[in-house]
Every structure is written in structure tokens, then in C-alpha cells.
Amino acid sequence: MSISPRGEPDRVAQLIADADIAAARVAIATIARRTPTFACEELSTRAGTRVALKAECLQVTGSFKLRGVLAKVAALGARADGGLVTASAGNHARAVAHAARVRGLRCEVFMPRDAAVSKVAAIERLGAKVNLGGASVEDALVLAGECAERLGGALVHPFDDLDVIAGQGTLAQELLEDVPDLARVVVPVGGGGLASGIGIALRRERPQVQLVAVQASACAPYARALAGEQPGDDSPPSPTIADGIAIKRPGELTLPLLRELVSELRTVSEEQIADAMVFLAEHAKLVAEGAGAVAVAALIGAGLEPIDGTTVAVVSGGNVDGGLLAGLLRRQETTEGRRVRLFTRVPDRPGGLAELLNLIAAARANLLTLEHLREGVPLHVRETGVELTLETRGPEHTDAVVAALQAAGYEVDLE
């Protein structure tokens, strides 16, 4: 969808002018990492246009959030001495906890009840106190605001803060320096702080560069708001694999900014996000969480038009649960025919199973699991059923394995 600017032009112009990206760059210089930007030939082929990846998943805390947090803490100055308080689904909280540890500050974090266990543990390891409550980041923000007022700490908002937005804009400055023919930036959108910061930096230095925002279809309040619908309601965000960008409603600062700065907004399905996570692991050797992969999902599956120059997809975060990623990789192997399950019967006598396994080994398939089935399937008196999971090189190899078993007299059912 294309975006038409509307709303508060004077206020938006002032926000763009006030965002101090230069000061933010100084604030992050000694702690945040200048993450690499590199071409991805396989993605370029799939997208039909030249593409590079900005690997913000390699940032110190695993996501771009550290940039905005460091900028905010620097802007707070002595006001941060009372401690930092924040709310987040994970990545922003981790960045705040890291900044607090570097500065020797107390840190109180509020997260939704169903926050990922791995993210909670990572934040606690940094020394922050984690409080779980509410069904969404917005609910957690209410609790964080109350805590900051009660304890006298400084609230660090995850996106709706001009210092945070300026910090995120440092990413775009790196892109402008690293990619001479930069033509388009594709960026995930949750609260909108990253897209706002990137958009401001582009507007100032190279306004012809397009900014494409991407949300998960399951939770896309900006897509509705930028189309002129109500920005959001009080219902919890729909479950999505991209939990890091699941919010109820756009920010008060970021919504008017994105109305002005975004060229186009796309949404991507859960299936497309999962495929993008696997693509990044297999072809770019990058571990990306769901939220971090949506820009790549848009390039693979959302039909962005080819463009002269380089399109950069921002891989915004890599803090993904290992079990989830492993499951997605196994699922992809099954989809591509590299992981198959089959059922057959073997003689119920010594050596009966060994004969089957020798045939599988000779066919160069890898046995992953095997289960004897003696009940619930039709069997002769002197035979047993076996269910096997095999790893093969693909559908043609699978066909060759099955043909070899059938030639030896085995009846094979692929599941």
C-alpha cells in the first residue's frame, strides 16, 4: 500500500528537525557495534533486484534497540541516576538492561505475561529485575510508568520518544556511508521508532531513497492507521511469530512521522516470516527472530517492485528461541522433501531390521528416528512395523531410496 502524508505537517516538520542524530551517534560510539551491510546474491535473485542485508541481529544485545536506548540514556544525563525503568516484549528491555549495567544503574523491566522465556532469562542475566504482567507491551508500559513514578526512575519508552528515535536513525547514517547507490530501505515496524529514525536520516541527507515499512499481517495497526482507519483498540495483539513487533496501536510521535516518511507499507504472513527466517539461516548464515526477518519476507514474498540501485533489508534482531528456529528448519526440510517419514514392515526375527537399515545406508540416506509399531497397524504374525524418519538430498533421492526398498521386496508407505 502507498502512503499519503496527512495530519500535522508543522508538528512533523519540527519532530524531524529536533531529532538529534549527530548527538545520538556520539552517544552510541563506544558501546554499540557498527553492524555489517553485505550483498546477498540469493536474495537478489529471488527479489529480482539488487539487495543487501543490514545485519543488526549482530548488534551487541542482538537487536537495533541498543542504539535508541544509549541515545536516551545520554540525553537523560543525571536524571538517569535514579535508575532506568522500561517495558518491552524483550529486545528493548535487554538493551536497557545492558545500558544500565554499563552505567552502574538500577534497572526495572516490565514484560507481558507470555514473554519468551529465553528473553526473560537474558535480561535477568544482565542484572535487571523483571516483572511479568499484562497481555501486551502497552499493558506493561502502564505498569512501568507507575513504577518509574513510584521509585523516581527514568522511564525509557521503547519507541515513542524523540531521543530513542534519533538513536535508531544512526543505523541509516551507516547505510548512507556504506551503500553508495542506496535506493530503498525495507524495515520492520512495531512501534515505529526504527522506521521513524531511519526515515528522518534519509529525509535529511538523501530524500530520494524510498522507505518501505513491513508489519506482520496478524498484527498490523500501522497498516490500518496509514490507510485511514482507527489506529488501534484495547484488544490484545494477535499471536504472531514476529512477537517483537506486536503492538496494539501506533505511537503518538511515530504515527505522524511514518505518515510523512514512509513510501510504502507491506504486510507479510506467518508463513512468509517463517520462510524468511529459514532463508536467512541457510543462505545468509544469519540467525533472525521473526520480527527481524519481516523485511526479508517482504522481498521474498510480498512482490516489491525492482528498483535501480541497492535495496537494503534491515535484519533488525536475532534473539530467537533455539527450539523455535530448529523446528522451522526441520519444517523447511520436510517441505523441500529433504526430511521424509515412511512406514514399512520387516520380518520379526534376528537380523530383520538390520537388513532394512543396510539398504537405507547403501542408498546414502541418513536415519534420524526409528520406531517399532506392533499395535494399531495390520501385521502378519511374524512381522513388525517400523516407522522411519530419513534425511535425504531431496525428492529425487527420496524416490531412489524408496525404489531400492521396493526392489528388495519391502512395501513402503510415505507419510
Catalytic residue among 54, 65, 72, 248: 65
Catalytic residue among 63, 136, 196, 316: 316
> CA 140 to CA 364: how far, in whole Å?
53
> CA 181 to CA 165: how far, in whole Å?
24
> CA 83 to CA 281: how far, in whole Å?
37
Q: Which 8-state DSSP code applies to residue 237? A: P
User: What are the Cα distances from residue 349, in Å, to 71, 359, 412?
Assistant: 71, 17, 19
Residue 359 near residue 367, CB atoms below 8 Å: no
In sequence order, the 6+-apart residues with CB closer than 8 A to the CB of 77 are none
- Coil, strand or helix: which one is 190? coil
In sequence order, the 6+-apart residues with CB closer than 8 A to the CB of 310 are 39, 50, 51, 52, 179, 181, 182, 183, 184
> CA 345 to CA 311: how far, in whole Å?
54
CB burial class (10 A; 0-12, 13-18, 19+) of residue 232?
middle
Q: Mark whether 65 is an active-site residue.
A: yes
Name residue 178's amino acid. D
In sequence order, the 6+-apart residues with CB closer than 8 A to the CB of 22 are none
Name residue 30's amino acid. T
Kindly provide the residue ranges of all beta strands, DSSP E only, lying in 3-122, ordered along the sequence.
Answer: 37-39, 51-55, 84-87, 107-111
Find the helix or strand (DSSP H, E) in which 378 lies: none
Give the active site residues. Answer: 65, 316
